[in-house]
Structures are given as structure tokens and as C-alpha cells.
Amino acid sequence: MTPGLVQRLVGHASLRGEFFRFVIVRGACAVVTYGAYLLLLRAVTYTPAYVASYALGIVLAYVANSHFVFRAPMKRRAAMRFPAVYLFQFVANYLALRILVEVAGVPASWALAISIGVTIPLTFVLSRWIIRAG
């Protein structure tokens, strides 16, 4: 995806509003997911805590994106496809991390923040497409 395409997509007023709400929802989901992870750590080890909190985050993101961000009805087909956004995000961030740290020499402490900044517009487009297409 080229920067020009992202600018055209986010350049429309309705898309700007959706993108703003998307960023807010992503932040809120991250906070809730992390909170759930910390709570679960009281009862289980970190692996099941991470898996359960990550799954909760996907469900929360789908519901919040459908209702708040894109204002679209929830559909079974979209709900089944939505986890693909998170798989894409994981792979894209992992690849970006490797490139930034190992090729570009960016400190690991900064690399994830940079990769998230790069993938947010892509995950926005993917989420929008999945939820709108149903």
C-alpha cells in the first residue's frame, strides 16, 4: 500500500472519522487485553493467560469495530474472518521488527512502535473490508 493510497483513503471526511475511531478502539482494546492478561496471571501461567487475553482482544475488537468504528451490523461471516486481521498484523509486525532491528539497525525498544505505526493503516483497511463485506 502506497502512502498516496493511505492519504486518499484517510482524506475523505467519513474515513477520517472511522480511522480516528479505529485508533481509539485499538488503544482501548490493548488496555483491556493487557488488563485481562494481568488478571489471568493470578490464576494461570503466562502462556494460557496470553492466549485467553489475546482471544478476548480479538472478540472485543470485532464488536467495537463493528458497532463503534464502522457502524455496521455484526455478521457471522465477518466474525469468522476477522481473526485474519490479527494474523496479518502479527506477521507484518514480526517481519517489520526483523527488518528494522537486523537490517536497519533500529534499537529493538523502538522497532515495535515503528512497525505498529506502519501496520495500523493496513489493519484499518483490512478490518474495514472484512466488516463491511460481511
Q: Mean pLDDT across the chain, nearest whole number?
A: 88
**What's the pLDDT score for residue 111?**
87
Domain hosting 92: range is 3-133
Section 117-129 average pLDDT? 91
Domains identified in the chain, total number? 1
SS3 call for 105:
coil
Section 106-118 average pLDDT? 87
Could you give the C-alpha distances from 45 to 31, 36, 125, in angstroms and in order? Answer: 20, 13, 35
Judged against a pLDDT cut of 80, whether residue 51 lies above it is answered with yes
Q: Which of 39, 75, 73 is nearest to 56 (CA)?
A: 39
91-109 pLDDT tens trace: 998 899 899 999 999 998 8
Q: CA 65 to CA 60: how far, in whole Å? A: 8
* 3-7, 41-45, 50-54, 80-84: segment of lowest average pLDDT: 3-7
